[in-house]
């Protein structure tokens, strides 16, 4: 245990976390040429595209330090978005220290701070690392100042490096050994191992990433997951190299994996404690939370014929996502689909994108919403997140919506803008504190519904990226809710309905109608777009009918070009949905989603 | 000069089975008209090199196509060719290809190039149809379009053409100029009809990217959609009233017989061979096209290679799509067997009820209104 170090790299987006991880791997493990890729740990396409890490990827680095001893450095990769803060917290709970990475040309930014707080909450050793010192605009002394002033850390302990150029890597490795404490635990005590990640292997089932705190585990052991109560027989344990490396056992202080023919990742809950069935630990490790979906949306295939393919794609997707929940749903406008629950908007976007790829077709997703509570006149309380299940208004006695307590951290100069944003979003009960010089933390009560559609992006925009945002659910409060319906030529498009607060209804209606007008192509008849509450129209737009669509000339040299255009339009048609007589492109539903922008 | 009766009646036949057509692109012009996006150059000294290269291209294709029954000399401005070049070209064509005596042989000419001697010479070389780039009989409009002739020259050219014995004439006309009124357009049509042409091509002025007109208008539409519709519908009704058959969106034939046989091949997916820069070809299965620029086309031939820049072999679905997009441009329409898509029957019924399509003997045929939406119609059957 003395020669183990468990650590993570935390940083603001694009500050070089992945590149540094690659360098550490290259410096310690000999990487065959063919396995070398630019960003080895980021395995998902979306991650590459967005420059963020979504899934944890953990690896054990064998390192011979300056003192001549062999160490095992366990690098635990962490997802970087507030939607996944629970996963981040479990990953950090598995570490003793972190490398806090700061880009020398950008300085300390919002996520740097947010991640630092998380690390402090877990009492981790913090090693500041200043990266990208090779850049001409690198301002090392400036960043050191920031580290002192804004982070409250000793800048002299900061390690200078350029992951891209391979500078300072040796110093980083030494620092991990000398400045991050070894894990503490009792190998004789009953087994407690924290699950911080799980991935699905189609041959072996769930591959569970664990940090062993006390005790040990080996193949043949019967283990129990303390939160789910499930019992399994361990088939294999090991550590993560570039590939999985089976080991005879994992003991206190170790980071690695176990496999026990666990059919899906849903059975392995992140934050759960693994113990031995024969000699269970008296208490689970602290901090376990059930993932709770807070954002809901319905997913439909563009063509009804593809429903089964979508169902299959969802099943397959589910294998690797423990958080998503879904059930069958149907819409008069869109046919058969699924109602899904997500951890947050990023989760939703990831699911949508991965699902589209898996499914091979475009998807229609309705406007995301939250779960509301309705107290009916007969006394019953019903929970409704699907606007289609909105109760009969005549029978509603009271309505309530979920609230959050939001914590927003910004440099002082943005406080006004943030207050304005929160007020616009029906924020209440503001409180201010000053955690660091120059930084203000605002706490607000906000309706969750106001936060799930583009709040985070708006926050980033008004704070020029410096605002960081975290929240906790704080229960239901009474609210004046209405159902906003969208009608096309008098017909309700149920998939576009939304449950909104009365004060925001008109604004939403206007925006949605405007976006739809832009997105719905002209057809052979006029289209009236209307937003309505009950029977009352509160917004309208019109799409005029097309009157002419013809090319004057079409001779020998024009045929190929015109046909290619037609082929393209034919492809585009696949993304069209008929609602009554009206053809609506899938992009229209997406546009309405983003109507707040 | 009496017209050869055999030549006239043969050229008057439509739908001449599936014999291929031959197209030669003459990429030379004295100036570039404001609206034109066809390929051409202004350096006429390159004509001999071009002609020799065409002859070389002819050799490559000799014997590969069935006998042609149409030849179309297009451009550019074919009438800038000196008689010697034209004669040599025709000789090479006749030597290596089979082009029967009943073939339709069209040449495009600009009014400013016409004189009686030249036109007579064209007749002697076997050209039996002229397509004259009149565009308008209003001098101001001609200036706007960047044409290099005036109305008077156009009138003279037409008179000489008749005098030289051409009994198959087409006039190209353009409408939809900014500021043009229906009355003004009607005047042009009436002036055209005074020459009793066998065929008229009436094109709506379209701003093509890369043209002087495009630069001038920088993307703004020239006239309103309503005005475009108005002119199109007026033209259709006016010419039908004058005894013309509106057989393709922009093309009118007087009486049943005077279709442009060559162009019909494009719209009916019959084979054609294209020679010269930018020319397109189709052998019934495969489409290919020559390098667009004279220089590239010459270079390929100089290297001893076929000057094709690209090709495609059509899949059955691509063939069907072509049938749709071409069929809805002509009065032949599209056979039911080629219509597809989840709701094609409903769509057909709906479009028929709107008066855009007619159902005739198992074919969906566009009406005059339907012509206006010809680019949209295929989408209802896809």
With an 8 Å Cβ cutoff, are B379 and A562 in contact? no
Q: How far apart are CA A147 and CA A154, in angstroms?
A: 7
Q: What is residue B13's DSSP assignment? A: -
| Chain A residues near residue B351 by CB distance under 8 angstroms | 524
pLDDT in tens, A395-420: 999 999 999 888 888 889 999 999 99
Q: Are the C-beta atoms of residues B339 and B359 closer than 8 Å to each other?
A: no
For the segment A227-245, the average pLDDT, to the nearest whole number, is 91
Give the tokens for residue B98: 């089979």
- The CATH architecture one would assign to domain A295-365 is 2-Layer Sandwich (3.30)
- Percent of chain A exceeding pLDDT 90 equals 38
Specify the CATH class of B5-267 in words: alpha beta
In the stretch 38-97 of chain A, residues with CB closer than 8 A to chain B read none
Q: What is the mean pLDDT of chain A?
A: 85
Dihedrals φ, ψ of A68, to 5°? 85, -5
User: Any idea which architecture A482-593 has in CATH?
Assistant: 2-Layer Sandwich (3.30)
d(CA B230, CA B222): 14
User: What pLDDT is recorded for position B17?
Assistant: 58
Cα(A399)–Cα(B361) distance, integer angstroms: 63
- Residue A455, classified by CB atoms within 10 Å of its CB into exposed (0-12), middle (13-18) or buried (19+), is buried
Predicted local confidence at residue A267, as pLDDT: 79
Contact by Cβ (8 Å): B60, B172: no
Domain spans of chain A, in order of start:
4-179, 192-276, 295-365, 373-479, 482-593
At B1 the pLDDT is: 36
A49 — pLDDT class (breaks 50, 70, 90): very low
Does A522 contact chain B (CB < 8 Å)? no
Confidence of residue A21 (pLDDT cuts 50, 70, 90): confident
Q: How would you write the pLDDT of chain B (382 residues) with one tens digit per residue?
A: 333 433 333 233 334 457 999 999 999 999 889 899 888 899 999 999 999 999 999 999 998 888 999 999 999 999 999 999 999 999 999 999 999 889 999 999 999 999 999 999 999 999 999 999 999 999 999 999 999 999 999 999 999 999 999 999 999 999 999 999 999 999 999 999 999 999 999 999 998 888 888 888 876 888 999 999 999 999 999 999 999 999 999 999 997 679 999 999 999 999 999 999 999 999 999 999 999 999 999 999 999 999 999 999 999 999 999 999 999 999 999 999 999 988 899 999 999 999 999 999 999 999 999 999 999 999 999 9
pLDDT value at position B177?
A: 94
Is the Cβ–Cβ distance between A148 and A159 less than 8 Å?
no
DSSP H helices in A74-136: 85-93, 110-121
Report the pLDDT averaged over residues A104-115.
76
Does pLDDT of A117 surpass 50?
A: yes
Query: For residue A363, what are the contacts with CB-CB under 8 A and spacing of at least 6?
Result: A299, A300, A301, A302, A310, A352, A355, A356, A586
**What is the band of A335 on the pLDDT scale with cuts at 50, 70, 90?**
confident
Which range among A158-167, A540-549, B19-28 shows the weakest confidence by mean pLDDT? A158-167
pLDDT reported for residue B343: 85
Determine the 3-state secondary structure of A124 from DSSP.
coil
Strands (E), A93-134: 97-103, 125-131
User: What is the Cα–Cα distance from A562 to B156, expressed in whole angstroms?
Assistant: 38
Query: Where do the H-state alpha helices sit in B5-82?
Result: 5-11, 47-61
Which residues of chain A does B208 touch, with a Cβ-Cβ cutoff of 8 Å?
Answer: none
In the beta sheet, which residues pair with residue B135?
A: B173
Residue B250 is nearest to which of A547, A552, A573, comparing CB atoms?
A552
Task: Place A109 in a pLDDT band, splitting at 50, 70 and 90.
Answer: confident
Q: Does A550 touch chain B (CB under 8 A)?
A: yes
Give me the CATH topology for the region B316-381. Answer: Arc Repressor Mutant, subunit A (1.10.10)
More confident residue, A483 or B17: A483
Pick from A350, A296, A354, A301: nearest CA to A325: A296
Average pLDDT over residues A99-125: 82
Confirm or reject contact between A567 and chain B (CB < 8 A): yes
CA A202, CA A267: separation in Å to the nearest integer? 15
Kindly determine whether residue A546 and residue B375, on different chains, have CB atoms separated by under 8 Å: no
Subunit contact B318:A567, Cβ cutoff 8 A:
yes
State the pairing for strand pair A428-436/A439-447: antiparallel
Coil, helix or strand at residue B194: coil
- Tell which residue, B37, B68, B357, B44, has the closest CA to residue B210: B37
Pull the structure tokens for residue A294.
């807070």
Å from A563 to nearest chain B CA?
Answer: 6
Under the banding of pLDDT at 50, 70 and 90, the label for residue A51 is very low
Q: Do A553 and B203 lie within an 8 Å CB cutoff?
A: yes
Pick A577 or B240 by higher pLDDT: B240
Question: What are A262-315's pLDDT values in tens digits?
Answer: 887 777 888 899 999 999 999 888 888 777 787 888 888 877 788 888 888 888
CA distance A291 to A84: 10
pLDDT of residue B326: 97
Closest residue on chain A to B328 (Cα):
A550
Q: Give the HSE-up count for residue B107: Cα atoms under 13 Å, Cβ half-sphere.
A: 27
Q: Is the ipTM of this complex over 0.90?
A: yes
Cα(B172)–Cα(B161) distance, integer angstroms: 15
Residue A31: predicted pLDDT: 57
CA distance to B5, B71, B88, per residue, from B102 (Å): 10, 11, 21
Least trusted range by pLDDT, from A300-304, A349-353, A585-589, B40-44: A585-589
Q: Which two tokens stand for residue A213?
A: 């705190």
Please report the pLDDT score of residue A72 as a whole number: 92
Q: Per the CB < 8 Å rule, is A563 touching B318?
A: yes
How far apart CA B308 and CA B61 sit, in angstroms, is 12
CA B367, B368, B372: angle at the middle one, nearest 5?
105
Are A101 and A131 in contact by the 8 Å Cβ rule? The answer is: yes
Q: Hey, which bits of A92-172 come out as E strands?
A: 97-103, 125-131, 159-160
Alpha-carbon radius of gyration of chain A = 27
- Could you tell me the end-to-end alpha-carbon distance of chain A, in angstroms, rounded to an integer? 52
Question: Which of 3.40.50.300, 3.50.50.60, 3.40.50.620, 3.30.1370.60 would CATH assign to domain A4-179?
Answer: 3.40.50.300
Domains A373-479 and A482-593 alike in fold: yes
Q: Could you report the per-residue pLDDT of B255-308, keeping only the tens digit for each?
A: 767 999 999 999 999 999 999 999 999 999 999 999 999 999 999 999 999 999
Evaluate whether the domain defined by A373-479 bears CATH number 1.20.120.10: no
Is A19 annotated among the ligand-binding residues? yes
Beta-carbon contacts of residue B274 (< 8 Å; ≥ 6 apart):
A556, A557, B23, B24, B25, B280, B281, B289, B290
Contact A473, A483 (CB under 8 A): no
Domain range list for chain B: 5-267, 316-381
Report how far residue A480's alpha carbon sits from residue A385's, in angstroms, rounded to the nearest whole number.
15
pLDDT score for B2: 38
Is the distance from CB of A446 to CB of A422 less than 8 angstroms?
A: yes
- Please state the CATH superfamily assignment of the domain spanning residues A192-276 in this structure: Translation factors (2.40.30.10)
DSSP E strands in chain B: the ranges are 21-26, 68-75, 99-109, 129-135, 169-175, 199-204, 244-248, 251-254, 272-275, 280-282, 286-290, 308-313, 334-335, 357-360, 363-366
> Mutate which of A335, A553, A570 to disrupt the B interface (most B C-beta within 10 Å)?
A553
Say what the pLDDT of residue A56 is: 47
Q: Which residue of A has its CA nearest to B310?
A: A560
**Chain B residues with CB-CB distance to A568 below 8 A:** none
Tell me the average pLDDT across A193-215: 89
| Window from A138-147, A359-368, B34-43 with minimum mean pLDDT | A359-368
Contact by Cβ (8 Å): B206, B177: no
Nearest partner of A81 among A106, A51, A59, judged by Cα: A51
């Amino acid at each position: 245990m003395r020669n183990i170090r468990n650590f993570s790299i935390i940083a603001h987006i694009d500050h070089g976390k992945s590149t540094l991880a690659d360098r550490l791997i290259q410096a310690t493990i000999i990487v065959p040429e063919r396995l070398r890729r630019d960003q080895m740990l980021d395995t998902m396409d979306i991650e590459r595209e967005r420059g963020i890490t979504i899934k944890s990827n953990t690896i054990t680095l064998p390192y011979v330090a300056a003192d001549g001893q062999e160490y095992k450095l366990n690098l635990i990769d962490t997802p970087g978005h507030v939607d996944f803060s629970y996963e981040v917290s479990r990953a950090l709970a598995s570490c003793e220290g972190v490398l806090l990475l700061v880009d020398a040309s950008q300085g300390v930014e919002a996520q740097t701070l947010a991640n630092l707080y998380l690390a402090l909450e877990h009492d981790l050793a913090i090693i500041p690392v200043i990266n990208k010192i090779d850049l001409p605009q690198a301002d090392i002394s400036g960043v050191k100042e920031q580290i002192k002033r804004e982070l409250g850390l000793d800048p002299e302990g900061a390690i200078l490096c350029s992951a891209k150029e391979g500078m300072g890597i040796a110093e980083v490795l030494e620092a991990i050994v000398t400045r991050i404490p070894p894990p503490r635990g009792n190998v004789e005590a009953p087994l407690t191992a924290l699950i911080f990640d799980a991935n699905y292997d189609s041959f072996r089932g769930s591959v569970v990433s664990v940090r062993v705190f006390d005790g040990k585990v080996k193949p043949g052991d019967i283990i129990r997951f303390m939160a789910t109560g499930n019992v399994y027989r361990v088939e294999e344990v090991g550590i993560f190299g570039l590939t999985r490396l089976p080991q005879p056992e994992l003991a206190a202080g170790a980071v690695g994996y176990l496999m026990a023919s666990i059919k899906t990742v849903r059975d392995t809950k992140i934050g759960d404690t693994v113990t031995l069935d024969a000699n269970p630990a008296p208490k689970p490790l602290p901090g376990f939370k059930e993932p709770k979906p807070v954002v809901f949306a319905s997913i439909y295939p563009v063509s009804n014929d593809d429903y089964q393919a979508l169902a299959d794609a969802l099943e397959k997707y589910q294998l690797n996502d423990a958080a998503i929940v879904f059930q069958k749903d149907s819409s008069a406008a869109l046919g058969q689909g699924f109602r899904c629950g997500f951890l947050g908007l990023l989760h939703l976007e990831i699911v949508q994108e991965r699902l589209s790829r898996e499914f091979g077709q475009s998807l229609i997703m309705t406007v995301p919403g939250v779960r509301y509570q309705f107290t009916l006149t007969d006394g019953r309380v019903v929970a409704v997140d699907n606007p289609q299940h909105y109760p009969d208004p005549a029978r509603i006695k009271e309505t309530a919506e979920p609230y959050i307590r939001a914590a927003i951290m910004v440099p002082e100069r943005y406080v006004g803008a943030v207050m304005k944003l929160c007020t616009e979003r029906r924020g209440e009960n503001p409180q201010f504190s000053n955690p660091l010089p120059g930084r203000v933390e605002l706490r607000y009560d906000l309706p969750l519904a106001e936060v799930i559609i583009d709040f985070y992006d708006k926050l980033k925009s008004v704070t020029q990226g410096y605002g960081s945002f975290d929240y906790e659910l704080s229960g239901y409060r009474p609210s004046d809710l209405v159902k906003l319906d969208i009608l096309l030529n008098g017909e309700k498009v149920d998939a576009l309905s939304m449950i909104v607060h009365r004060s925001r209804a008109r604004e939403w209606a206007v925006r949605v109608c405007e976006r739809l007008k832009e997105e719905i192509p002209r057809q052979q008849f006029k289209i009236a777009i209307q937003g309505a509450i009950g029977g009352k129209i509160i917004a309208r737009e019109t799409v005029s009918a097309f009157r002419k669509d013809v090319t004057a000339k079409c001779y020998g040299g024009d045929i190929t070009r015109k046909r290619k255009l037609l082929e393209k339009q034919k492809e585009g048609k696949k993304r069209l949905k008929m609602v009554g007589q009206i053809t609506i492109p899938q992009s229209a539903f997406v546009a309405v989603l983003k109507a707040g922008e | 000069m009496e017209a050869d009766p055999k030549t006239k009646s043969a050229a008057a036949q439509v739908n001449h089975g599936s014999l291929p057509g031959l197209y030669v692109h003459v990429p030379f012009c004295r100036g570039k008209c404001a609206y034109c996006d066809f390929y051409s150059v202004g350096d006429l000294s390159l004509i001999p090199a071009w002609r020799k290269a065409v002859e070389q291209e002819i050799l490559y294709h000799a014997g590969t196509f069935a006998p042609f029954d149409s030849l179309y000399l297009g451009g550019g401005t074919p009438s800038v060719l000196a008689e010697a070049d034209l004669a040599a070209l025709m000789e090479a064509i006749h030597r290596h290809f089979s082009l029967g005596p009943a073939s339709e042989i069209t040449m495009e000419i600009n009014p400013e190039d016409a004189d009686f001697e030249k036109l007579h010479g064209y007749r002697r070389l076997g050209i039996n149809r002229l397509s004259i780039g009149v565009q308008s009989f209003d001098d101001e409009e001609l200036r706007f379009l960047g044409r290099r002739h005036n109305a008077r020259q156009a009138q003279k050219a037409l008179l000489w053409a008749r005098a030289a014995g051409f009994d198959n004439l087409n006039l190209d006309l353009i409408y939809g100029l900014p500021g043009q009124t229906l009355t003004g357009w009607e005047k042009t049509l009436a002036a055209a009809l005074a020459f009793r042409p066998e065929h008229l091509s009436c094109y709506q002025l379209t701003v093509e990217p890369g043209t002087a007109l495009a630069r001038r208008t920088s993307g703004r539409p020239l006239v309103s959609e309503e005005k475009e519709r108005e002119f199109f519908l007026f033209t259709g009704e006016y010419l039908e009233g004058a005894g013309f058959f509106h057989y393709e969106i922009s093309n009118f034939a007087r009486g049943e017989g005077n279709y442009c046989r060559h162009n019909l091949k494009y719209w009916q997916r019959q084979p054609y061979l294209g020679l010269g820069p930018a020319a397109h070809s189709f052998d019934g299965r495969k489409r290919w096209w020559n390098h667009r620029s004279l220089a590239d086309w010459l270079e390929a031939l100089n290297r001893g290679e076929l000057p094709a820049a690209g090709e495609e072999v059509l899949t059955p679905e691509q063939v069907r799509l072509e049938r749709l997009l071409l069929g809805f441009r002509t009065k032949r329409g599209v056979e039911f067997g080629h219509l597809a898509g989840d709701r094609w029957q409903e769509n057909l019924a709906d479009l028929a009820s709107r008066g855009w399509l007619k159902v005739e003997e198992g074919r969906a045929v566009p009406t005059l209104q339907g012509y206006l939406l010809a680019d949209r119609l295929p989408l209802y059957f896809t």
